[in-house]
Amino acid sequence: MFSGNDPADGDVVIESLRATAYRLPTPVPEGDGTLEWNATTMVYVEATANGTTGSGWTYCGAGAADVVNEVLAEVVPGRAALDVPGAWLAMQQRIRNLGRPGVVSCALSAADIALWDLAARLTGLPLSRLLGKVRDSAPVYGSGGFTTYDDSRLQTQLEDWVGGQGIPRVKIKIGESWGGAVRRDLARVRFAREVIGPSAELYVDANGAYQAGQAIRVGERLAESDVRWFEEPVSSDDLAGLRRIREGVLPDVAAGEYGYDLPYFGRMVAAEAVDCLQIDVTRCGGYTEWFRAAAVAAAANLQVSAHCAPNLSVHAAVCTPNFRHIEWFADHDRLERLFFEGTVPPDGGLARPDLGACGHGLVFLPEEAGRYRVR
């Protein structure tokens, strides 16, 4: 029973939904102001229909694969493959007792992305055409600059982005030791500015490490290095603190990457907490929920920025009128280039989806990824 959403005669129906998980070690230990890690975990989802496979993925704990295989896969097969919003609603209703935020929403997101990719491939369209393209390309910024990097490694990464790939926007991590190393934070910001020169835009991300008053004092010093973007100066749950900082510093204040449902974004926008709303397509509920969140931002005359998962984000980016840029995150860029064929280069600071390929255009490489499979 599909509650009035049964497939019609002649509809291609979804046959299966399946997830696997992979864990790729980082080249060196990495960290930001509040967390350290040594690997990147990707949960990969495939949806099949009529001999065609669509795929999506998310970056989170491997348990998201169990949510797909044991919960979401119960309600998706048998539905019309082109009725993706209906499948999304069925999945959203099915996870009620599991709770929406976190791993469960990441599983929902990856499944939704796979279903949209499947629909695009079945119709012979590039995904951005199916979703509704409004521009040909989207600006990107290089993202990494981990607090665990020494000056030499940081310099190499920055020079590759700005000089090697021509990306005119870069972001580094600050807020080291939960805001306990402000002098080093500011020294690294000054160093980054020296490396990239006066023309490239410099962004920073504190990952919620500071307290509000401390963040305002840091923000005053950031202006000395012409920092344009101050991400999560305090916890994204501290909406009053974000607004206070926004009113007290020159750089744009940004947050939103931990939005797992639409009410989260509604609260952040209503609180006037940010200058630009971040959305992660692999966390928020996939493309279906992305566009609803972007509309919430647009109603308040705010732009949105895509958090990570660059080769999936680019398709949402070119279909969103109030869009600013994509975070071209180093760890995800590395994994996607290793695990997939057809990835999009960010050369010149712009990413363009391949309009000559159906769906999102990426082809999974099971032999490459298989060495890192964990579930």
Give tens-digit pLDDT for 293-313. Answer: 999 999 999 999 999 999 999
Residue 186 reports pLDDT greater than 70: yes
pLDDT for 292: 98
Identity at 68, one-letter amino acid code: V
**Please, which pLDDT band fits residue 320 given cuts at 50, 70 and 90?**
very high
What is the reported pLDDT for 3?
46
- Across 168-194, average pLDDT: 98
The single-letter DSSP state of residue 140 is E
Instruction: Using the structure block, give the residue that is written with the tokens 């700005």.
Output: 162
Query: From residue 154, how far is each of 35, 148, 187, 283 by CA, in Å?
Result: 18, 9, 12, 28
- Model confidence band, residue 136 (pLDDT cutoffs 50, 70, 90): very high
The mean-pLDDT minimum among 6-10, 272-276, 364-368 falls in 6-10
pLDDT at site 125: 98
Q: Is the pLDDT of residue 2 over 90?
A: no
Q: What is the pTM of this model?
A: 0.97
What the block records as the tokens of 286 is 């996939």
- Please count the other Cβ atoms lying within 10 Å of the Cβ belonging to residue 173: 27
Tell me the pairing of strands 138-143 and 340-341. unpaired
CB 115 within 8 A of CB 84: yes
**How many whole angstroms separate alpha carbon 311 and alpha carbon 344?**
6
Average pLDDT of the residues of the chain? 97
Give the mean model confidence (pLDDT) for residues 135-161: 98
User: Hey, what amino acid is at 116?
Assistant: W
Residue 306: beta bridge partners? 279, 326
- pLDDT of amino acid 195: 98
